[in-house]
Amino acid sequence: MEQSRAAARRIAVLAAEKGGRAYFVGGCVRDRLLERAPSDIDIEVHGMGDKQLERLLSAVGTPGKAGKGFEIYNLSGTCLNVSLPKKPGVSLCEAAARRDFTVNALMEDVLTGEVLDFFGGKEDLKERVIRHIGRSLSEDPVRVLRAARFAADPAFEIAPETKSYMRRVNTEGAPPERVMNELSRALLSPRPSRFFEALKGTEALSFWFREAEALIDVPQNPGHHTGDAWEHTMLVLDEAAACREQAEYPLYFMLAALCHDLGKSETTVKEPHGRIHAPGHPETGAETARAFLSRITREKQLKKYVCNMVRFHMEANRLWKKGKKKKDYMLLFDRTVCPGDLLLLAECDIKTTLLYTEDYSFARKLHKDMLKQYYALLEKPYIRGEELIELGVPEGPLLGEALGFARRQMLKEAPREETLEKIEKKWGKR
């Protein structure tokens, strides 16, 4: 970061020599005033043309270009993003006015350190308030999601007038990849539930996150839960955020936490005698999660992971409660994409219910032990494909079936010779 700031100062000095002026803008100014480390540094250079700026940047380092229609230059070896105002010749106030929120409209002179505040951003920053500027939300509907993300990290409140504005903005046309970006950043914040609570009641929740919105007012078994399915999901999200660094795939894990009970909106029933339950909600939820994720991402591995986790999220705790044997755990782990993350999700799920007691320390220990045994089994040589071919199993789909059967028998700790006999009888030469 020091290297980037040194490069920024060099750019500012050269710009000043040519009659221009360089300003830190956007999040890096906000984060500095919050005493947070910025992920990158944005600079806006006034009083110069694009060709002048390119020559200036070439004198400092190796510039590259990004953006469509509005060019942003990056400098190799730094985290600098350098740009000109969108419209040539605009005043500093007019340039700041194109920003989304007052706390992001602050500008800092690179050379003098003077902070320019045209819209009360300093006061809003002090009060931790997100307040829109002009028609900023209508100009870019993704900013509705960004406002909600700021409510999650670094724990801002949204101004009443901005909340009202958010409800009037149609976000359906927002690019899915940018929706996914805002969602991902919110899920990796300390309190992801604040993102969704901030969107509650807006069209953004109704369109992009309608499967989650459908959980509002869905009742749950009062003997197991306090609150409806929405409240439970929000609790699980925050519980998952507290331990996501333990997950093998932190973002995927958080999406699984968000989606784990989506099936309850379709499967919850209240029987005549008053019992409330949601039979088959993990299976239904896996398909609901797929529909939701397909709207915002094309990432196949992510969808596979989340749908698999949703499908099996109750199984580990079910096996524990029913006192199932080792082989049941082994087969469960073999059906899930990431057994360790599945156990972590299962713990987050039960910790937010009335079922969580001191007894769960035993379950946690049992689960870890079973997982250790599972990986130990996978390290043992059992039956190889070459052996099955020698038994007459033809290469191709039948060999795959036979190997799958052998793997399941291994996890059940069936005798090897017995498994070979069964395979030869069923898949060998007839």
The fold of 227-371 is Hypothetical protein af1432 (1.10.3210)
pLDDT at 152: 85
Q: Integer distance in angstroms from the first to the last C-alpha of the chain?
A: 69
Residue 44 has pLDDT above 70, yes or no: yes
Q: Which of 8-22, 61-75, 370-384 has the lowest mean pLDDT?
A: 61-75
Main-chain phi, psi angles of 158, to 5 degrees? -90, 130
Q: Which of 118-127, 172-181, 256-265, 392-401 has the lowest mean pLDDT?
A: 392-401
Cross-strand bridge partners of residue 116: 107
pLDDT at 67: 60
pLDDT in tens, 283-330: 999 999 999 999 999 999 999 999 999 999 999 999 998 988 899 999
Structure tokens at 22: 């360089």
Domain 128-208 sits in CATH at 1.10.110.30
DSSP classification of residue 288: H
Task: Measure the CA–CA gap between 405 and 172, rounded to whole angstroms.
Answer: 47
Asked if 107 contacts 25 with a C-beta cutoff of 8 angstroms, the reply is yes
Residue 219 has pLDDT above 60, yes or no: yes
The residue written with tokens 């002179």 in the block is 109
pLDDT in tens, 85-97: 988 889 999 999 9
Residue 340's pLDDT band (boundaries 50, 70, 90)?
A: very high
pLDDT at 395: 86
Handedness of CA 120, 125, 130, 133 (dihedral sign): positive
Task: Measure the CA–CA gap between 49 and 18, rounded to whole angstroms.
Answer: 11
Using alpha carbons, select from 218, 240, 189, 252 the residue that is nearest to residue 351.
Answer: 240
- Mean pLDDT over residues 146-174, rounded? 91
Residue 357 has pLDDT above 60, yes or no: yes
Domain ranges for the chain: 2-118, 128-208, 227-371, 380-427
pLDDT at 391: 83
Share of the chain above pLDDT 90, in %: 69
pLDDT in tens, 386-425: 888 888 888 888 888 888 888 888 888 888 888 888 888 8
- Mean pLDDT over residues 374-380, rounded? 86
Task: Measure the CA–CA gap between 389 and 400, rounded to whole angstroms.
Answer: 11
pLDDT at 396: 85
- b/e burial code for range 21-53 (CB count within 10 A of at least 16 → b): bbbbbbbbbbebbeeeebeebbbbbbbbeeebb
Rounded to 10 degrees, what is the CA torsion of 394, 397, 399, 401? -140
User: In terms of DSSP H, where are the helices of 188-314?
Assistant: 193-199, 203-208, 210-213, 229-243, 250-259, 264-267, 281-296, 300-312
Residue 384 has pLDDT above 90, yes or no: no
Residue 430 has pLDDT above 60, yes or no: no
Structure tokens at 255: 């999406």
Most confident of 86-100, 193-207, 256-270: 256-270
- Mean pLDDT over residues 222-251, rounded? 96
Is 425 or 191 the better-scoring residue by pLDDT?
191
pLDDT at 154: 66
- Mean pLDDT over residues 60-65, rounded? 87
Q: What are the Cα distances from residue 340, in Å, to 222, 325, 331, 374?
A: 29, 18, 14, 11
Is 83 or 379 the better-scoring residue by pLDDT?
83
Residue 68 has pLDDT above 70, yes or no: no
Tell me what the pLDDT averaged over the chain comes to: 92
Length of the chain: 430
Residue 385's pLDDT band (boundaries 50, 70, 90)?
A: confident
- Mean pLDDT over residues 134-158, rounded? 91
Residue 4 has pLDDT above 90, yes or no: no
Q: What are the Cα distances from residue 370, in Å, to 290, 350, 363?
A: 29, 19, 10
Asked if 297 contacts 183 with a C-beta cutoff of 8 angstroms, the reply is no
Task: Measure the CA–CA gap between 415 and 391, rounded to whole angstroms.
Answer: 17
Residue 70 has pLDDT above 70, yes or no: no
Q: What are the Cα distances from residue 293, in Å, to 179, 241, 287, 311?
A: 11, 19, 10, 15
Q: Is the peptide bond before 175 cis (omega within 30 degrees of 0)?
A: no
- Mean pLDDT over residues 154-179, rounded? 93
Domain 2-118 sits in CATH at 3.30.460.10
Handedness of CA 68, 71, 77, 78 (dihedral sign): negative
- Pairing type for strands 157-158 and 269-270 reads unpaired
